[in-house]
């Protein structure tokens, strides 16, 4: 119950800035201009890969992140802030 209240409070505080609470770990992890793979972001944020894929898709749609091909691995992409 308290965790839901805290989550709602957090959502109300970040929503006016154009973010959701689920995007905050990605913003924090990429804050220094570095790029990370989706897999590494998911591990560091402690979320499942499909959840991270959805978060990144919304962030890319909103122009917050960009994906670039990972050198040497045609299937993976690096994610960085725009």
Residue-wise DSSP of 1-38? -HHHHHHHHHHHHHGGGT--GGGHHHHHHTTTS--EEH
Q: What is the pLDDT of residues 48-77, one digit of tens each?
A: 999 999 999 999 999 999 999 988 887 889
* pLDDT number for residue 73: 83
CATH classification for the domain delimited by 23-81, as one of 1.10.10.410, 1.10.10.10, 1.10.3720.10, 3.20.20.450: 1.10.10.10
* pLDDT number for residue 44: 96
Q: What is the pLDDT of residues 1-12, one digit of tens each?
A: 666 765 676 667
Query: Taking the model in full, what pTM does it have?
Result: 0.82
Say which residue, 38 or 9, is predicted with more confidence: 38
* pLDDT number for residue 3: 62
All structural domains of the chain with their residue ranges: 23-81
């Amino acid at each position: 119950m308290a965790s839901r209240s805290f989550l709602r409070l957090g959502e109300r505080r970040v929503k006016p800035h154009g973010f959701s609470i689920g995007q905050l770990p990605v913003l924090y992890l990429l804050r220094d201009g570095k790029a990370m793979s989706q897999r590494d972001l998911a591990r560091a944020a402690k979320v499942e890969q499909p959840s991270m894929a959805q978060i990144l898709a919304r962030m890319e749609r909103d122009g917050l992140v960009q994906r670039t091909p990972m050198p040497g691995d045609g299937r993976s992409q690096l994610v960085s802030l725009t």
